[in-house]
Amino acid sequence: MKLASEFSVPAAPDKVFALFFDPDTMRGCIPGCEQLERVDEKNYRGKLVNEIAHVRFSAGFSAAIQTISEDTETKEVTAVLKGEDRRLGSSIKIDARLAVRPEGSDSAVIGYEMDMALWGKLGRLGEPIIRRRSREIELEFARALAIACGAPEDKLPETKKKARPASTPVTLPAPTPDATTDSAAPTSTGGAVAVADPTGRRLAAAAVLTSLVALLVALLRRGR
Amino acid sequence: MPTLHRPDTLDEAVELLSTVDNPMVYGGGTAIQILIKQGILFADNFVDLAGIPGLREITPGAGVLTVGPMVSVRRMETDQRVRAHAPLAAEAYHQVANPRVRNTASAGGNIAHGDYRLDPPTALLVLDATVLASSVRGTREIPVREFFVDFQETAIEHDELVSGIRIPAQPPGAGRFVKNSSLGENDWPCASASVLVTGSTMHIGLGAVAPTPRYVACDATGLDDQGAVDAALAAIEPELDPIPDVRGGVAYKRRLARATVEDAVRAAWKDLQHA
Amino acid sequence: MLEQGWVGGRRARFDTAGRVRGLVSHVGDQPVGAAAHVAVHRSTQPHALIGAVHTEDALAMPGVYAVLTGADLYKQFGDRLLTGPAFADQPALAHEKVRYVGEPVAAVLAADLATARAATDAVWVDYDELPPVYDLADALEGSAFVHDELKPSSVFGDLRHLRGVRDTNVNYTYTLRHGDAQAAREAGAHTVTGEFWAPPTHHVPIELPCTIAWVDAGRLEMLTTTQTPSYVRQTIADLLDLPLSRVRVTTRPLGGSFGAKMYDRLEPLAAALAWTTGRKVRLVASREEAFLLTTRHGAAVTSSLTADAEGNLVSSIADVRYDTGAYADVGPRITAKSGMVTPGPYRIDTAHVRSRCVYTNKPSAGPFRGFGVPQVTWSHESLIDELAHRLGEDPYAFRRRHLLREGDEAPMGTRMHSADFVTCLDSVANAIGWFEPLERGSGRIRRGRGVAVGVKAVLTPTIANAVLQFNQDASATLLISTVDMGQGSDTIMAQIAADVLAMNSERIHVVRADTDATPYDTITAGSRSTYHTGNAVRRVAQAMRDKLIALGAQHFEVAEADVELTPEGLRSGERTVPVAELVHGHFGARGATLTAEANFTTSWAPYDKETGRSEKVTEHWFAGAIGVQLTVDTATGRVHLEHLAVAGDVGRAINPALVEQQLTGAAIMGIGHALFDQLVLDQGQLVNGTLLDYQLPSIRDLPDKLTPIVVESPHDDGPFGAKGVGETGILGIAPAIANAVRDAVGVRLTTLPLTPESIVTALENKQEEES
């Protein structure tokens, strides 16, 4: 399965590119990333813990940097990412290429291409789910990265849709706490994070993809 | 091994949902059984609604039909009250899967599944139905147009269950449901559309062409059939957001969505001429 | 009425009601008592070395008896663990490395199936990844190899030269050279070329594969869903190093198979586990697992067909690549048998075919109704259709002019007999109204017609045996090892014997295959049973008739020539004695039996090493033709079949009703392959391997009208002139439909299936080119 997209962040390419190799920044940017450590110069490993639809899960992953080229105007890194969910007898492998190029004076475009293999039980039903869920992750990641680059948080759109439809209690007036609060939360992007291709926006950065394994686990355990 | 609970009352059922670990409501079972057999469903507790009296009832009210969650899809298709009250809904239920599935699947489970390809939601959207969601906190009404939140995600909270669907009477005009598959005829739909033309408004419910069922409306004042088709196609354009998969790529699914909507609009227009 | 049950009679198959109502019990229905239920932990890597296999957690689960790995079995069986019908390359559990996603790595034995399946999730494996070979291009590029070296089975002399060959993914190459096809192509006036692709598909029989194996008094006994009980007995005897007499393989009626349940499926693993643990074991594949057990070969064909200025066919050239997946299975045989008919059933001056069987990191491909021939028919029937269009000729008439006739030598060197392509083609063309004007449509819906012809050889050489017990009460028990999987073999075998013995066919019971009792029979496959086993049955019935007549001659005290066997009994002149009375008189006992046995064996002339030709490559040919009229919705790309006619030359129909059903069933299966049925793989992962996503024809995909046509051109040596029919109807379906699409909307598609998406894409490309 091939995925590709690009989006802008409000920082110079040098700065953005360096952040990719900083475990602390990435841990904060990758949705659900609880552990991320640099094993050596080329290798990272971590753990994703996430909660979707009230189900908590965790999955281990590793990332191995294959090539880095940062001398040209467009900086590029390629990496292989792997994750495994034993309970579901499934593994994931992603060949990722991530590039950062300048856009105007103080802005950069992050582009990515992924070739993702999903093997095992999940592989036979994962594609539509992955393609859908990955958009959400891209938004979350892009927002977090923009903040890491110094963008003011309050000007960024909310990403995770906590919105619940307005409800009309008929027997007991007991809607959920957030049921009536932010139903108008924006779901489109704007502000400082400009997503270059709003309909095609899918994924943010290479490391993010490993969280897909975990997302799938949660989704399927919910049994939909 | 998951535990199967068979509550006798709705109160008991919602109590279970709020107390047991990782529960799942069991309706007709047509979706759940498949996932169990595939070894990818990990619910710890099933709450089976089959034994609760009253959940299989279709109750007429003032201009509204209230459908119990365990009413079978087959009955939604065949029940004279549904056919008289909302023929478009009956037609959409009629085209679900196959008779074996329709005999088993429940109307509540169907929408709770939340799949973007389901047929009935397209009709419920244009008819502006309301979903009743019950929990220990009571029962709330969710307009079906706000029910499908995201890919296989509905507005139902984890401790809630669908306790009914309220369908307003279909207003005078013309309604048509059309669906197309891209592979076997009997496969999941690749595009489906309910079109309801009433007064000067054209309501369109779309299935399978975006991560959720979608609803749009547009003004049809003074349009001929071609004008109506053009207006409908313009109205649905921003809503088309198909997920590429083995059933087709984005471009094909968009094309099929347009062909499906066009067929439904033309059929509805023809009905209006002959009405 | 008696004749209804004889040759040519339309007797209803004896088990229809039982099959429909679930009263016929299948292997999976058999109670097993105290047995270990087996589930399999499967690979999550397409190509990797196996490090440690962690089984401790699974073993610790309550109810788990044992967990065995490929290494455990290899310790016990050594290289005997590797089995297969052509190459000994297939381990019951992956040993040292895994070669496809979903390959069995460890087997869990537990008190019940749910526990066993749960425990497989607790097994995990350390892998050391190898570069994957995802498709034919990867495989032929040749930098990574699915097998380190080729391991042809020791049984086959013609594969011996391949033993130990390294650094290749091509396990077998068949080459046909007839004249100088390249020179003829260059000299020819008109050449059409194509790059054809037919995807892998799955058989999807209703009944899931199931095997029960146990050890009884030092013998390995097995009840299993197989089309090949005699083969399985040999394989298990080899695996366990036992004499054949200590292995027993039995079957029940199969609930469909189409090639899915033959050779090495669940049986070697079941036998190895039962033998190693001493437990009775039961293996059943889930629907999702069944998709991984075997598939139809995906095949790529690069081909050309050339005509001279007069429209004579002068050259056929083809490069055929069969993707056999991780294990060769019967792929090398398919590669040769199908490769040799790649030019099609036409008079062509020269032909050159290279047909290769190629390993990839995918689930293994094996036999499937048609045995590789539909994939090459897709090429030759598209090419000749396009050539006719190029020459401005009618595609029906152009084919007809060039079709092989009785006595003609086909490009691979064997003569045609009892293969009436012309009548088949004429009858389908007539049926669909080919010669009448066509209302083509002018708007969104366009109409077209297409025809196609198919040719296939029967599996040769093979061996069939039959034993007949004639019971004193004038009933009979027929012992053969043909497996009735829904095709109706038990019914027609009884008809053959009843016809010879002038008796009621319903009084003949056909014993299901049991290698302890029923005699050797090569396999139930390749449409061979009617001809081969049917001949053995005819012979055994004749032998029994001779015995009865001899008894009659004794009874009447006349010469045997003066005694006749009739439905009323044995007759000599005016005198008649009922058979029951005769046999009772002979033995002086009720319930006694007379026994006869017979054999029928065919032979062939092996392919010439240089040219790939043979003067007798097969015992007989299957000839079929398809005609179709359809519409194409140019807005959605959807094809609607208005009328499909399927004709097959069956020599002589033993039971015309069953022949029509076989033609019809094959046609419906072929419609799926033409329009939407395919296994979709993404980087070695099967992504539509569930019945939610896998596409099979439903009643709503059938043509408005489906006409089966029985053509009878009797075979000199067939039983009553008969030949088989199981595959004839499927050969030409896809090209006939594609040819009709070409006729309707003017686009030539070369990749199967012809999805609506592929049709609208081709239409858009055509519009772009024209504008």
**A168 or C751, greater pLDDT:** C751
Flag if B249 and C757 touch (Cβ within 8 Å).
yes
Q: Which residues contact C206 (CB under 8 A, 6 or more apart)?
A: C255, C256
Domain assignment of residue B106, given as a range: 3-49+58-168
Strands C445-457 vs C463-471: parallel, antiparallel or unpaired: unpaired
Boundary (domain end) residue, out of B168, B194, B221: B168
Regarding whether B259 and B190 lie in a shared domain, the answer is yes
Asked if B67 and B76 count as a contact pair (C-beta separation under 8 A), the reply is yes
Please state the separation of Cα C736 from the chain's center in Å. 21
Of C128-132, C500-504, C685-689, which range is least confident? C685-689
Confidence grade of residue A165 (pLDDT, cut at 50, 70, 90): very low
Which of C690, C695, C756 lies at the smallest CB-CB distance from B38? C690
Q: Which of B181, B185, B253, B265 to mutate to test the interface with C (most CBs of C within 10 A)?
A: B185
Q: Helices C331-339 & C373-390, crossing angle to 10 degrees?
A: 30
Domain assignment of residue C352, given as a range: 298-459+607-770
Boundary (domain end) residue, out of C579, C601, C623: C601
Flag if B184 and C698 touch (Cβ within 8 Å).
yes
- Give the pLDDT of residue B151: 79
Handedness of CA C497, C498, C499, C502 (dihedral sign): positive
Asked if C667 and C702 count as a contact pair (C-beta separation under 8 A), the reply is no
Confidence grade of residue C704 (pLDDT, cut at 50, 70, 90): very high
Confidence grade of residue A125 (pLDDT, cut at 50, 70, 90): low
CATH code: domain of residue B178: 3.30.390.50
Asked if C269 and C234 count as a contact pair (C-beta separation under 8 A), the reply is no
Which chain A residues contact residue C288 at CB under 8 A?
124
The answer to whether residue C422 is domain-embedded is: yes
Q: Which residues contact C359 (CB under 8 A, 6 or more apart)?
A: C133, C139, C145, C146, C147, C169, C170, C171, C324, C325, C326, C327, C328
Measured CA to CA, the distance from residue C758 to residue C678 in angstroms comes to 14
Regarding whether B119 and B63 lie in a shared domain, the answer is yes
Regarding whether B148 and B16 lie in a shared domain, the answer is yes
The chain A residue lying nearest C119, using CA atoms, is A87
CATH code: domain of residue B22: 3.30.465.10
Using alpha carbons only, give the angle B206, B212, B216 rounded to the nearest 5 degrees. Answer: 40
Which chain A residues contact residue B139 at CB under 8 A?
169-172
- Give the pLDDT of residue A128: 58
Regarding whether B8 and B128 lie in a shared domain, the answer is yes
Regarding whether B256 and B208 lie in a shared domain, the answer is yes
- Give the pLDDT of residue C577: 97
Tokens of C524: 């139930």
Asked if C656 and C431 count as a contact pair (C-beta separation under 8 A), the reply is no
* ipTM entry: 0.95
Helix (H) or strand (E) holding C671: helix C656-675
Regarding whether C658 and C547 lie in a shared domain, the answer is no
Asked if C446 and C744 count as a contact pair (C-beta separation under 8 A), the reply is yes
- Asked if pLDDT for residue A214 goes beyond 50, the answer is no
Q: Which residues contact C652 (CB under 8 A, 6 or more apart)?
A: C7, C8, C712, C714, C715, C718, C720, C721, C722
Tokens of C196: 């054809």
Of A81-85, A186-190, C303-307, C659-663, which range is least confident? A186-190
Asked if A214 and A26 count as a contact pair (C-beta separation under 8 A), the reply is no
Low-confidence ranges of chain B (pLDDT < 70): 39-40
What type of residue is C460? T
Beta strands in chain A (DSSP E): 2-9, 33-38, 43-52, 55-69, 75-85, 90-102, 108-120, 168-169
β-partners of residue C355 are: C174, C320
Regarding whether C255 and C334 lie in a shared domain, the answer is no
Measured CA to CA, the distance from residue C316 to residue C305 in angstroms comes to 5
Beta strands in B49-187 (DSSP E): 58-60, 64-67, 130-135, 138-143, 148-150, 153-154, 161-168, 174-180
DSSP line for C321-347: EEEEETS-TTHHHHHHHHHTTTT-SB-
Flag if A163 and B149 touch (Cβ within 8 Å).
yes
CATH code: domain of residue C411: 3.30.365.10
Residues of A with CB under 8 A from a CB of C: 1, 84, 86-91, 115, 117-120, 123-127
Which chain C residues contact residue A130 at CB under 8 A?
none
Q: How many Cβ atoms are within 10 Å of A104's Cβ, its own excluded? A: 10
Strands A90-102 vs A108-120: parallel, antiparallel or unpaired: antiparallel
Asked if A166 and A184 count as a contact pair (C-beta separation under 8 A), the reply is no
Q: How many Cβ atoms are within 10 Å of C578's Cβ, its own excluded? A: 12
The shares of helix, strand and coil residues in chain C, as percent rounded to the nearest 5, are 30, 25, 40
- Give the pLDDT of residue A135: 62
Confidence grade of residue C64 (pLDDT, cut at 50, 70, 90): very high
Q: How many Cβ atoms are within 10 Å of A220's Cβ, its own excluded? A: 24
Of A51-55, C23-27, C589-593, which range is least confident? A51-55
User: Average pLDDT, stretch C237-262?
Assistant: 97
Task: Using a CB–CB cutoff of 8 Å, tell me whether C41 touches chain A.
Answer: yes
Regarding whether B238 and B146 lie in a shared domain, the answer is no
The answer to whether residue C142 is domain-embedded is: no
Measured CA to CA, the distance from residue C14 to residue C356 in angstroms comes to 43
Regarding whether C493 and C451 lie in a shared domain, the answer is no
Regarding whether B163 and B198 lie in a shared domain, the answer is no
**A70 or C547, greater pLDDT:** C547
Regarding whether C673 and C561 lie in a shared domain, the answer is no
Asked if C525 and C459 count as a contact pair (C-beta separation under 8 A), the reply is yes
Q: Which residues contact C21 (CB under 8 A, 6 or more apart)?
A: none
Q: Which one-letter DSSP state was computed for residue B248?
A: B
- Give the pLDDT of residue C605: 95
Task: Using a CB–CB cutoff of 8 Å, tell me whether C448 touches chain A.
Answer: no
Tokens of C537: 């049955």
On average, the pLDDT of chain A sits at 64
- Give the pLDDT of residue A45: 85
Place of tokens 């999730």: C121
Beta strands in C270-374 (DSSP E): 281-284, 298-307, 313-325, 350-359
Q: Name the domain count of chain B.
A: 2
- Asked if pLDDT for residue A187 goes beyond 80, the answer is no
Asked if C352 and C174 count as a contact pair (C-beta separation under 8 A), the reply is no
Q: How many Cβ atoms are within 10 Å of B221's Cβ, its own excluded? A: 11
On average, the pLDDT of chain C sits at 97
CATH code: domain of residue C80: 3.90.1170.50
Q: Roughly how many angstroms between the first and final C-alpha of chain B, as a whole number?
A: 57
Regarding whether B121 and B15 lie in a shared domain, the answer is yes
Handedness of CA C133, C137, C140, C143 (dihedral sign): negative
Boundary (domain end) residue, out of B168, B187, B220: B168
- Burial call A171-183: b when 16+ CB within 10 Å, e when fewer: eeeebbeebeeee
Tens digit of each residue's pLDDT (9 = 90 or more) over C153-211: 987 878 889 999 999 999 999 999 999 999 999 999 999 999 999 999 999 999 999 99
Measured CA to CA, the distance from residue B68 to residue B132 in angstroms comes to 10
Regarding whether B117 and B186 lie in a shared domain, the answer is no
Place of tokens 């009626």: C253
Which chain A residues contact residue C61 at CB under 8 A?
none
- Asked if pLDDT for residue A84 goes beyond 90, the answer is no
Residue A62 sits at φ, ψ, to 5 deg, of -135, 150
Tens digit of each residue's pLDDT (9 = 90 or more) over C454-509: 999 999 999 999 999 999 999 999 999 999 999 999 999 999 999 999 999 999 99
Regarding whether C527 and C388 lie in a shared domain, the answer is no
Q: Which one-letter DSSP state was computed for residue C17?
A: H
The chain A residue lying nearest B30, using CA atoms, is A224
Regarding whether C533 and C483 lie in a shared domain, the answer is yes
Of A170-184, B121-135, C375-389, which range is least confident? A170-184
Regarding whether B219 and B134 lie in a shared domain, the answer is no
- Give the pLDDT of residue C532: 97
Measured CA to CA, the distance from residue C310 to residue C53 in angstroms comes to 67
Q: What percent of chain C has pLDDT over 90?
A: 97
Which chain B residues contact residue A199 at CB under 8 A?
241
Which of A127, A168, A222 lies at the smallest CB-CB distance from B140? A168
Which chain A residues contact residue C686 at CB under 8 A?
123-124
Regarding whether B99 and B7 lie in a shared domain, the answer is yes
β-partners of residue A92 are: A83, A118
Q: Which residues contact B87 (CB under 8 A, 6 or more apart)?
A: B170, B175
Regarding whether C354 and C308 lie in a shared domain, the answer is yes
Using alpha carbons only, give the angle B191, B194, B195 rounded to the nearest 5 degrees. Answer: 125
Tokens of C545: 């008739």
Which CATH fold would you assign to the domain A2-161+181-222?
Alpha-D-Glucose-1,6-Bisphosphate; Chain A, domain 4 (3.30.530)
Residue C698 sits at φ, ψ, to 5 deg, of -105, 180
Measured CA to CA, the distance from residue B167 to residue B162 in angstroms comes to 14
Place of tokens 């292989």: A80
The answer to whether residue C429 is domain-embedded is: yes
Q: Which chains touch A (3 or more CB pairs under 8 A)?
A: B, C
- Give the pLDDT of residue A138: 66
Q: How many Cβ atoms are within 10 Å of B28's Cβ, its own excluded? A: 23
Asked if B232 and B244 count as a contact pair (C-beta separation under 8 A), the reply is no
Regarding whether B98 and B82 lie in a shared domain, the answer is yes
Tens digit of each residue's pLDDT (9 = 90 or more) over C342-357: 999 999 999 999 999 9
Which chain A residues contact residue C54 at CB under 8 A?
none
- Asked if pLDDT for residue A203 goes beyond 70, the answer is no
Provide the shortest C-alpha distance from residue C485 to chain A (in Å): 29
- Give the pLDDT of residue C301: 98
Q: Name the domain count of chain C.
A: 3
Measured CA to CA, the distance from residue B220 to residue B204 in angstroms comes to 12
Task: Using a CB–CB cutoff of 8 Å, tell me whether C676 touches chain B.
Answer: yes
Regarding whether C545 and C524 lie in a shared domain, the answer is yes
Q: Helices C756-770 & C733-745, crossing angle to 10 degrees?
A: 40
- Give the pLDDT of residue A201: 26
Provide the shortest C-alpha distance from residue C760 to chain B (in Å): 8
Regarding whether C613 and C516 lie in a shared domain, the answer is no
User: Average pLDDT, stretch C422-445?
Assistant: 97
The chain B residue lying nearest C118, using CA atoms, is B39
User: Average pLDDT, stretch C13-41?
Assistant: 94
The answer to whether residue C61 is domain-embedded is: yes
**B158 or C730, greater pLDDT:** C730
The answer to whether residue C148 is domain-embedded is: no
Boundary (domain end) residue, out of B137, B168, B199: B168
Of A29-38, C559-568, C718-727, which range is least confident? A29-38
